[in-house]
Structure 1
């Protein structure tokens, strides 16, 4: 019996080595560390340790625009070639975004089903729909509440402030102005903590789903405090999502009404809502956090923004939207502090593809990452500097390389609500206040980022001092 198991183990090892060797030959012309020809372990290690994006960036700096990450996985950092690959089908990585045992638009792998779901929701995410009075009312109400919270205390942890505001906006958009979350008013704030506890196991579900599911089903995961907390947080978010859904008038709850009138099951609707709630607040909240932190450290750029906003009617969003310096500040923040800087993998189709004179065979996992695309000097002069003016008349190459909202037919459906919310928030904030960093920073503050696919500052905190600008005062 023992010899049988030894033989079985030996056969398994040989099969794994043979598979790795075969894949290695198929991608033999793609440069990268020698070990990546045989195993994915280095990439998994960096991913689990929240360093994947920077690790891949360093590989590109060393090996060039096409890099092997694993026996069957490559990364591309060549802007003209990136667009088409984001029309390929998604990998199992996106199963980590499922909820209630159902797929949502983002996690649906094949293009046809995704297209059908996107058509159902796409009309309500257009910019024209965002600018309807009832939708601008949701955004403006939440931003005014945010300003009220600031006026009550001038030293603020903006990481929480902006995430609360963004959660309240996206839930108001889904469920109607009076429904959904009211974190800025101190209600349901536990859901925000739950979102962040849930992150602890994300990469495990995304990269090692079978092992992770086994650890949970066997009870082993319950012995790990962070994993136990992540599971409890998932259940709390599920329950809260249903609570929001069930207290809404199905005829007057904005986007939820559209879903309820479709042929989707309750589980599919719930999975869709939960995904939009998470993506909608984490990305916008992170962008605002890094933007205000940067402006608070760069008063000369902040002054330019104050001057531009001084004579603008903030109730006229069309006028706010056209402000060139504000627009440049937003795009530069999204370039250098992309809320999702990491790679989003796709699968090379059956015909294969030729990239940079190398043939990439079918089934190869391929991706690009905004973090690296946005830091190429060839496409962005003074690439590591925050230069809002570059977007006054952006070059064609800059437009090609910029991918803060993704590329292709599966680019971020929520980019319009994100841009409108950010511009409304920043215009109100900097017409009312000037900001600076505390003289003595809290010991816990570190504005480097944790790479949870969607990034956050280390220790989830960012302190800013607000000083009200009196009417007529020069900032």
Structure 2
């Protein structure tokens, strides 16, 4: 699509009722909270493995508002401080494991270790217990199932009719994916219920997770099925996307001596017992992270939305209701009018 934007401009019609947009004003309008363009029908195929919607997959505005309200507090900066120790302990272990592999092999598979790190962290923050992949140095059944499910989801999103056909013609790929999904749902159900039992036994000082408030049923709560669907969405959103970004950052820094030296000088200026706020205040580190996310975004796929029923003008073009419009960060992040020499 990027070449199409370069040739034809920032608004490109790719099918009779589908338009790709790579402009900042268009993206702001499409994804505005004030006048939302609802998610397209594609998201109906993104329900959790238990068949229930979550904050990511739902197209229902009220459902999304309620879920976002219930889930947002634990993700605030002040509340995340309560679980900072989890991230730090896992990060220290990941760096240690990378160092040991370097000693043994002369090279280290940082993608492997960053994936173990991010998945262990989001697992502990979601279910109250780590997957312990960093300790074991290998994937567990849940993450193997997660990978198999991701492959199946790609097929299901692109070719839904094939998936329907598979229910009549049993094929190993689909039956194995179904079993993987069922194992993932069972694990999520067991983990959430186990954590709920722990909270009930020690309600005053439970181990904090992203779902502690919901499990304790403090104020407005959420049905268990929705909680499980959201938990699965958290695992997917918080594991490989983060590890891929961290891998590209590591690779980019290590292959450029100037960037590496400047970054190390800035980091070494921190006190031994530095905290998260001091880390966030480092300007060059922030620039390196932001540039990594721009060039090597982990989720560059389009985000399809539907034009409201009455139609709308988008970036100077009138589009009838029901037209699907989508933005994708890959092309926008390589717009030379915004980022001079965008590939470097």
TM-score, normalised via structure 1 length? 0.64
**Deviation of residue 149 (structure 1)?**
1.2
Cα RMSD (Å) of the superposition? 1.9
**Deviation of residue 359 (structure 1)?**
0.7
Give runs of aligned pairs for residues 124-143 of structure 1, distance below 5 A: 124-130=74-80, 132=81, 134-143=82-91
Give runs of aligned pairs for residues 356-435 of structure 1, distance below 5 A: 356-385=315-344
Secondary structure of the 2:297 match is coil
Secondary structure of the 2:12 match is strand
Identify which of structures 1 and 2 has the higher relative contact order when contacts are C-alpha pairs closer than 8 Å and 6+ apart.
2
Give runs of aligned pairs for residues 39-438 of structure 1, distance below 5 A: 56-86=1-31, 87-99=36-48, 100-130=50-80, 132=81, 134-154=82-102, 155-176=107-128, 179-186=129-136, 189-209=140-160, 211-220=161-170, 222-223=171-172, 225=173, 227-248=174-195, 249-250=198-199, 251=203, 252=206, 253-260=208-215, 261=217, 263-313=221-271, 315-385=274-344
Secondary structure of the 2:211 match is helix
**Deviation of residue 318 (structure 1)?**
1.0
Q: Which runs of 5+ in 1 are unaligned?
A: 1-55, 386-475
Distance of 1:127 and 1:81 partners within structure 2: 30
Contact 1:183 1:189 in 2 (8 A): yes
Runs of 4+ aligned residues of structure 1 deviating over 6 Å after TM superposition are none
Q: When the two structures are aligned, how many residues end up with a matched partner?
A: 322
Q: Which runs of 5+ in 2 are unaligned?
A: none
Contact 1:97 1:275 in 2 (8 A): no
Question: Alpha-carbon deviations, 1:306-360, whole Å to 9, x = none?
Answer: 1111121353211111101100010001000111111110000022111233210
**Deviation of residue 263 (structure 1)?**
4.2
Contact 1:90 1:109 in 2 (8 A): yes
**Deviation of residue 57 (structure 1)?**
1.8
Question: Alpha-carbon deviations, 1:72-112, whole Å to 9, x = none?
Answer: 11011111221121131111212232120100011110222
Contact 2:280 2:286 in 1 (8 A): yes
Residues 1:297 and 1:229: Cα distance change in structure 2 (over 3 Å) = farther
Contact 1:105 1:114 in 2 (8 A): yes
TM-score, normalised via structure 2 length? 0.88
Secondary structure of the 2:298 match is coil
**Deviation of residue 188 (structure 1)?**
6.0
